[in-house]
Amino acid sequence: MIEIFDFRKGIDNGILQKLHNRSKLENKEIAKKVEEIISNVRERKDKALFEYTYMFDGINLDKSTVKVTKEEIKNAYKEVEGEFLKAIDKAIKNITEFHEKQKQSTWLDFKEGIVYGQIVRPLSQVGIYVPGGTAAYPSSVLMNGIPAKVAGVEKIVMVSPAGKKGVNPYVLVAADKIGIEDIYKVGGAQAVAALAFGTESIPKVDKIVGPGNIFVALAKRALYGHVDIDMVAGPSEVLVIADETANPKYVAADLLSQAEHDVMASSILVTTSLEVAQQVKIEIERQMEYLERKEIIEKSLKNFGAIIVVNNLKEAIGIANDIAPEHLELNISNAFEIIGEIKNAGAVFVGEYSPEPLGDYLAGPNHVLPTSGTARFFSPLSVTDFIKKMNILYYSKDSLREVKEDVITLANSEGLTAHANSIKVRF
């Protein structure tokens, strides 16, 4: 069960180090298998893709059946509830509105004899990986597909492993709602490789985004350079900063909601109140009893959960900035006053009525966030992940003449005399 650690007399770096190191993607055996799959799909294309799909998923596919049909999408609508359709429409509206504000424009600046600027272009083709099988992740479709759509990506190719009855109907409805037409019933490292290199059935893309298991994560990492990727995501995590005003029931529920993701997920409470720490521990044990994924939660909290008591908010913020959590909740009385002190977090949830699951599904900000401390240098998935920029430069002859000696000097300082000559021959 989750333990309470009292840091008021000093920080236990051993606990923090354990949390930092929990999700290292260093499995040589799986990495070797992933490399083999990638090589096979690159060389044998559809044939290898379909063989692996049968081997891992037990699904027999060929070129005529690998793509989801309009009839399958039509049938998917019959399998989802009306409440789901209403909720997903609200989510699409909110997520679209948020990402519309991230759009960037082409710009040019003019000086006498000089024009410079930047052209913004969307990527041409993007691949979205959506986990499948027995689970349903329609929110993953929205969070990856909507910013790509807002950016103006011409073609979105979605892959998702199918169960015996096909791709999950909730996933298909979500994809149809945002206009994704090219959906394929494949998953795993073989699907990632197919997107990276192209096969007879699946087109090659410029970038691959979306979460997956360790095979998918390692495949994306191995293929970076052949294609761009969003990030190599690790297990999910939440860190809650709470003071004496926090509601232990709410805090416990939020820690549990993250722990149910995976046995590798991390749920951490950092609080200035020993009483709150103790009450949260009691609430966790009480609420966990009626949760369906109790077994997963218990392992997650035992291995990578922690309740940490500190002297003050400054210490709490220092721990948060060190861990750089994917999700950071501020359940404190003066939350907006200290936001400026938060340096490292994927997303910040302010106040007791802004729980992390709100961001997972409906609020609008993207839920594809940096994990495993990478919030120190990575940002959430956004419209900017689906664009590229080209610089524009024009100088007239007179403008070049004014700076030619400076350019020649700088080129010669690097020993690049041909660079200098490129300027000299024009005068």
Do 17 and 145 belong together in one domain?
no
Residue ending a domain, among 177, 209, 229, is 229
Kindly report, residue by residue over 176-215, the tens digit of the pLDDT: 999 999 999 999 999 999 999 999 999 999 999 998 888 9
User: What's the confidence (pLDDT) of residue 222?
Assistant: 93
Helix (H, G, I), strand (E, B) or coil at 230: coil
Do 12 and 39 belong together in one domain?
no
Do 412 and 265 belong together in one domain?
no
Structure tokens that stand for 324 in this block: 């750089």
Residue ending a domain, among 183, 208, 229, is 229
Do 188 and 331 belong together in one domain?
no
pTM for this predicted structure: 0.92
Indicate the average pLDDT of the chain. 93
Do 75 and 188 belong together in one domain?
yes
Do 304 and 202 belong together in one domain?
no
DSSP label at residue 127: E
Range of the domain at 413: 396-425
User: What's the confidence (pLDDT) of residue 264?
Assistant: 87
Task: Please name every residue paired with 240 in a beta bridge, in sequence order, or none if there are none.
Answer: 269, 329
Based on the residue annotation, tell me whether 367 is a catalytic residue of this protein.
no
Beta-carbon count within 10 A of 96 CB: 16
Separation of alpha carbons 353 and 303, rounded Å: 28
Kindly report, residue by residue over 252-304, the tens digit of the pLDDT: 999 999 999 888 899 999 999 999 999 999 999 999 998 999 999 999 999 89
Q: Mean of the pLDDT values across residues 72-91?
A: 95
Q: Which of 327, 329, 352, 356 is catalytic?
A: 327
User: What's the confidence (pLDDT) of residue 24?
Assistant: 60
State the binding site for substrate.
Answer: 236, 258, 261, 327, 360, 414, 419
Helix (H, G, I), strand (E, B) or coil at 388: strand
Helix (H, G, I), strand (E, B) or coil at 186: coil
Do 202 and 335 belong together in one domain?
no
Separation of alpha carbons 330 and 312, rounded Å: 14
* Residues 304 and 20 sit within 8 Å (Cβ to Cβ): no
133 pLDDT band, cuts 50/70/90, is low
On whether residue 113 sits in a domain, the answer given is no
Of the two residues 144 and 58, the one the predictor is more confident about is: 144
Do 215 and 266 belong together in one domain?
no
Separation of alpha carbons 344 and 74, rounded Å: 43
Kindly report, residue by residue over 320-329, the tens digit of the pLDDT: 999 999 999 9
State the binding site.
Answer: 129, 190, 213, 236, 258, 261, 327, 360, 414, 419
Do 127 and 91 belong together in one domain?
yes
Do 40 and 154 belong together in one domain?
yes
On whether residue 370 sits in a domain, the answer given is no
Based on the residue annotation, tell me whether 112 is a catalytic residue of this protein.
no
Structure tokens that stand for 253 in this block: 């529920």
268 membership: H or E segment, kind and range:
strand 266-271
Do 165 and 258 belong together in one domain?
no
Residue ending a domain, among 174, 200, 229, is 229
On whether residue 373 sits in a domain, the answer given is no
Do 15 and 35 belong together in one domain?
no
* Residues 175 and 145 sit within 8 Å (Cβ to Cβ): yes
Q: Which of 237, 326, 329, 352 is catalytic?
A: 326
Kindly report, residue by residue over 6-32, the tens digit of the pLDDT: 888 887 777 778 777 766 656 788 889
Q: Domain total for the chain?
A: 3
Kindly report, residue by residue over 115-128, the tens digit of the pLDDT: 999 999 999 999 99
On whether residue 208 sits in a domain, the answer given is yes
Beta-carbon count within 10 A of 413 CB: 9
Separation of alpha carbons 331 and 350, rounded Å: 7
115: burial class by Cβ within 10 Å (0-12, 13-18, 19+)? middle
State the binding site for NAD(+).
Answer: 129, 190, 213
Q: Mean of the pLDDT values across residues 396-419?
A: 96
**C-alpha neighbours within 13 Å on the C-beta side of residue 59:** 23
